[in-house]
Structure formats: C-alpha cells, structure tokens
A and B are shown apart, each in its own frame.
Chain A
Amino acid sequence: MVERADNQSLPQAEGWHTDGEEPCVTLDAFLSQSNATAVRLEPDEDARALIPHLDRLALIEVAFPKFRDGRGYSSARILREAGYVGELRAQGDVLVDQIAYMKRCGFDTFAPEKDLNPADVEAALSRWPEHYQGAADGAVPIWKLRHG
C-alpha cells in the first residue's frame, strides 16, 4: 500500500481527502482483482487501461514522483474525458504552483508530500478569472464567452 501524506495542515476545503478510506492498489493488482475500488496510477502507466472499470472505482490516485513529470496531467484528463466521476487525487511532489493546472485537468483532491500553505492554495486556485482553452474542469473557455 502507498504511504499516505499527512494532510493535517491542508485547508478544509471541499474535496480534500480524509483518512479511513480503502487503500489504493497498484494498476497491475487492480486489473487482476475485481473487488478493489481504489487504484494508484504511476506516471508510466496507461490511464486508458482503467476505462473499462471506471464504474466500480471510487478513487484514482495519480502519482507525481517529481513535479516536473507532467504525464499525470494527461492521465487525469483522459479519465475525466472517459466519464470518470469519482475522486481523482494528485499525490506526491504536488506543489502550490501546479495545483491550479491540476484542477483544470480534473483532479479534485490533493495529497502533497509536503504541507502547503492554505493561503497560498486559496490564492493559486482563485487566481485565474477565465481560461483560454477547454479542459476537464467544465470551465467555459474564453472563445465561448466571446461568442455566447
């Protein structure tokens, strides 16, 4: 099982994950057992392997071992685009300066290895008034606002 981050200092915003949930299993383990409802996806694993099983998943944890490795952003969008509505968590080297983009890609919870300053988190998530492009957060892109 995966080491859990200590989230005590995170803001009590909606969507921050809480303890007492089912542990995530690896992708391989998930694909070979039918009863798990939480899975962890490493950067080099194909998010599309989960698509046939999205209905029974309550949590997908996407690993960011290094914040510079951006594969997890694509994994998140692919899962949301496939209709996944459960919890999508960014875990690992998750820093305050990346979480706004993560949210746009469909992440709804964050499990950073190092505590984030709640004020910085709030500032980062409320920074952008609008967005140029469509993504997985349902935001209306600027071109659509321009043309109604």
Chain B
Amino acid sequence: MYKYDEYDHAMVAARVAEFSDQVKRRLAGEITEDQFKPLRLMNGLYLQLHAYMLRVAVPYGTLDSRQMRMLAHIARKYDRDYGHFTTRQNIQYNWIKLEDAPAILEDLASVEMHAIQTSGNCIRNISSDQWAGAAADEITDPRPWAELLRQWSSFHPEFSYLPRKFKIAVIAADEDRAAMRLHDIGIQIVEKDGQHGAAFYVGGGMGRTPMIAPLIKDFVPLDDMLSYAEACLRVYNRYGRRDNIYKARIKILIHELGADEYRRQVEEEFVHVKSLGIDPPKAEFDRIAAQFAPPPLDASAPDEIDRSDPDFAVWVDQNVAAHKLPGHAIVNISLKPVGGIPGDASSAQIDLMADLAEKYGHDELRVTHAQNIVLPHVRKADLYAIWQALDAAGLATPNLDLISDIIACPGLDYCSLANARSIPVAQKIATRFSDLGRQKELGELKLKISGCINACGHHHAGHIGILGVDRKGTENYQLLLGGSGAEDVSLGTITGPGFDEDGVVDAIERVTDKYLAERAEGERFVDTYRRIGMAPFKEAIYG
C-alpha cells in the first residue's frame, strides 16, 4: 500500500489548515455560503436534507486496518455510529456538524486520509479495480498508475474550477470491475511490445445523458500519461460548456465535437504540453510501485477448502473469488443483508472488518463500486474462521452479484437532489427475493437504483435499473433493462410507463419470471435480454 512521505503529509496538513481557516471565516460570517460552497465541496462537505454530509476519499478503494478503524471512530464520535460506502469507493457520513469538520479532517490526516476533491467541479478521487493486485486476470497492478494520477490531480491549479466534476478510473484487466467506460476518463493499462501503457477512453458518464466513453488513444506510454491527461483536461476546461449545468460534463463536449475532433485537439495540445516537462521520471513510478509490491504470500499454502459446513460452502461459492496465487482467495464481504441499507456498515462492523484484515488479510481492505468490502489477500485455510466472524456480525450474506446485491444511492431519505426514495425500494426487492435458492437460480443479476436522474445509483448500467422520478408530487419508478457497467458495457432501455413502489417490485418479478422461461443454457439475465430484446419483457410486464 502507498505510504505517505514527508511531502504527502505536508500537503494534507496544509489542506486541513486551509479548510479550518475557511470554516472559521464562514462561521464568523466573513464569507458567504455562495463563496464557501465550492470550498467545502472540494473538501467533501455537502449540505444535505437534514445535515452536512462528509465524503471521505478512499483512493482507488484501498485501505489498511488502521485507516478502516479510523472510519469506525469517525462514525462513532461524529456521526450516528454508521457510515455509507459509495459507488466511488469512498465512504460518506450523513450527520456531520460543520464545526466538527476540521477535527474530522485532522483525525483522517493522522492515518494518511483526507476528503480532498471528493466533491466540487474538480478531478475527483481516482477509482480502480477492487481486486487490484490480487485478480488472476490483471496484467499488472493498476494502483501505481492511479496513485500517479492522484498526486498530479491533487490541488491542480488549472483544473479546480472545471465546467463540472471529473471522474477517472484505472483498470488493468479485460474484465472491467470498475465501470471504467462510464467515467470522464477511463484508463485501461494494456501491453504493447512488452511495455505497459494507458488506453484512454474519454467522455463516458451516467447522469441524465448517459454515454459510453469512446477510445481516444489506444496506447499512451507511462512517460506521457500525465501530459496526455493534462491535454485532455485542458481542452475540456477551455471548451466544455458552462452555460448549462446539465450539459457541462466532458461527455457532452465530446459528443458535440465528435470523438475525432476532440482527439485532434487533444493531440495538438499534447504536443505542446509534453514540452513542458510535467511528467515525472520512471524513478517516481518505481518508487510508488514498490509500495504496491504484493504482500508476502505463501505459494505453498494448502489449496483445499473444507466445505463440510453447508452454509459456509454456499458463501464460498458466491462471495469468494479466485486469487492469482494458489492457496489464496479474494473475500467479498456483502454490505447488502436482506432488508438492510445497501452500503451501510456500523462502526462495530467496520472495526470487525479491520480486525479480519489485520489478522488474516495482510492488513488490506478494499471498497468496491458496488458498495461492498473486499479482503483481497487471504489464505484459503483461513476462510472458515473469517466466515464465522463475518456471520456473527451479520456480514456473511452470500449474495455477491445476485439480485439482492443492489447498488442504491441514498435517495430522498438523505439527498437534497433526489426525487424519490431508493433505500425502501431496495429493501422491498431484497425482501421479495430473499429466498437464496431463488436468487441463485436467477444467477448474476446486477440491479441498480437511483433516486433521481443524476444516476448516482448507476441505474443506466444495471442489468435491471430503477430510476425514481417525481410524477405530479408522487414518487414514481421507471424500470430499465439491459445495462451493464462491465466489459460488456451497455446502457439500459426504459421498459415503458413507470410504477409505484410496490408496482416496480411486481414488475421486476414478472421480468425475472420471463427470463427463467426464456433463457437458453448458460445465459445470464442480460444475455437473454440481448438475445430476445425488450418486446417479450414488455409483454410480460404490461401485457
């Protein structure tokens, strides 16, 4: 894991001092809320329906146990004893007092964490593959590349007042576990002539105008990556629309210019930017990469798992993934118990996951964009002990990638932008499909719920998506089918007229029944949908 050196510490400390000063001036009335807003947003502080919400950055979703325990501490001391893990691999706290924010940032800084650029019209936290460094299918660990980008984008003087927010994801496997092409910049580390480089996909995003990012450059050498990113951002900062907040994301600029014209402008800018010498030497990448060296794993660890406890075996089959090294496994901890709030964890649960990482997992944890937690490096021999501890804490729901592993935004229960509640719908769906046998029969089915058109719950990318809207003062839910945020990326299509809360749950049941009736051997829900199209499902829902 990346460890701060004196420079990183000094930068975060300066930011804490700066924000403490800004809060002081705000509380004293020296700056207006309008002037304070972009400042607090760049420090992760939102004003929500009931209170301030603080979003803490978890760079590329990677944490150690000490940091995880600090997240529990903050929940306990400053919030209501729980935190909410987000689709950007961050954590947010919903009940924060403005005057506590500087103290929280100081606590975070003590464990090399911060809330820098988790909001605002700047480059946000860099996200990545939650299985980075452990996945059997990656060509390299993408996190050193992400850390290079994190440092370059932190306090970037030119790109802190962009037309709109800017999200970057970095992966290094063909299987996309980070919704890479639905980011403003999605980077896939690829290999060419024995060298690793970055493929740049630019202009993806969800929101009210979802777009899949086109490939802008198939191979940017490591030595040029920051210059290329700088060129991409400069063209956007200069020419991205600022007349309409809903058209200000880079996806709209690229859509209006066309990918070819955008690429031409970026290439021209790149030639100039490259001459400025802003790319660090290979030694800096090597310094960072050394800190992501694999933990000391024992290649001779036993590869067998004792499956004599049937409940344990069910969990292993669903929530444990292949590690690149024999005798090891990746544990996916579901934060989606039936009837729970997707992504929420109590401080006791957060502490427990930290304990397990420390004891069995080489002190590493990951947050996933599907709002779950991962222990990336555990011995297969320790799986049973881990499962027992998780089970006792209500953290062993064996539903990874099943219909009840729902992504949901906070919705109208918390969010000032929402039109409809997301959490109760998620709870009703999970309850309706609570029978695990039924869920497993349905197989991989990614269900994603947003409480408004801004799409924080990734509804466009759900195999089944739900969009909550306000229709003449009542909450109404539109149903979408056929989206995917993975390597088979696609955008969902609305089925037709929307439903009330119970109606949408009924409609999903008709859709899944139709799938079971129509599916061919080995087909997931989304495969069947792609083969037979919308019409049969529409007929099943409305017919």
Contact = CB atoms under 8 A, between A and B. Distances in A.
A127 B277 contact: no
Nearest to B273: A81
Contacts, number: 103
B237 A73 contact: yes
Contacts of B7: 130, 142, 145-146
A74 B234 contact: yes
A127 B39 contact: no
A70 B10 contact: no
A73 B158 contact: yes
B195 interface: no
B256 interface: no
Interface residues of A, number: 37
A127 B22 CA distance: 12
Nearest to A104: B157
Contacts of B30: 117
A146 B284 contact: yes
Contacts of B39: 97
B532 interface: no
A132 B11 contact: yes
B157 A130 contact: no
B49 to A, nearest CB: 24
A146 B287 contact: yes
Nearest to A139: B157
Interface in A114-148: 117, 120, 123-124, 127-135, 141-147
Interface in A49-93: 67-71, 73-74, 77, 81
Contacts of A98: 161
Nearest to B277: A134
B52 interface: no
B155 A131 contact: yes
Contacts of A129: 10-11, 14
Among B10, B155, B272, the most chain A Cβ lie within 10 Å of the Cβ of: B155
A132 B152 contact: yes
Interface of A: 67-71, 73-74, 77, 81, 95, 97-98, 100-102, 104-105, 117, 120, 123-124, 127-135, 141-147
B412 to A, nearest CB: 27
B517 interface: no
Contacts of A81: 272, 276
A117 B158 CA distance: 24
Contacts of A100: 157
A127 B14 contact: yes
Given A73-B157, A123-B21, A147 B283 contact: yes
Nearest to A143: B280
Given A133-B152, A142-B7, A143-B284, A105 B22 contact: no
Interface string B139-179: 00000000000011011111111110000000000000000
Contacts of B272: 81
Interface string B1-30: 000010100110010011001100100001
Contact of A97 (B22, B276, B278, B281): B22
Given A71-B242, A101-B160, A147-B287, 18 more contacts: A67-B35, A68-B161, A70-B163, A73-B157, A74-B238, A97-B22, A102-B157, A117-B30, A123-B21, A128-B14, A130-B11, A131-B157, A135-B157, A143-B284, A144-B280, A145-B7, A146-B5, A146-B287
Given A97-B35, A129-B14, A146-B7, A70 B160 contact: yes
B332 interface: no
B87 interface: no
Nearest to B287: A146
Contacts of B10: 129-130
A72 to B, nearest CB: 9
B38 interface: yes
State the 10 A-B residue pairs at the shortest beta-carbon distance, nearest first: A70-B161, A104-B157, A143-B280, A101-B157, A134-B278, A143-B284, A142-B7, A73-B158, A132-B151, A129-B10
Which of A70, A104, A124, A141: most chain B Cβ within 10 A?
Answer: A70
7 contacts: A73-B237, A98-B161, A123-B21, A129-B11, A142-B151, A144-B280, A147-B284
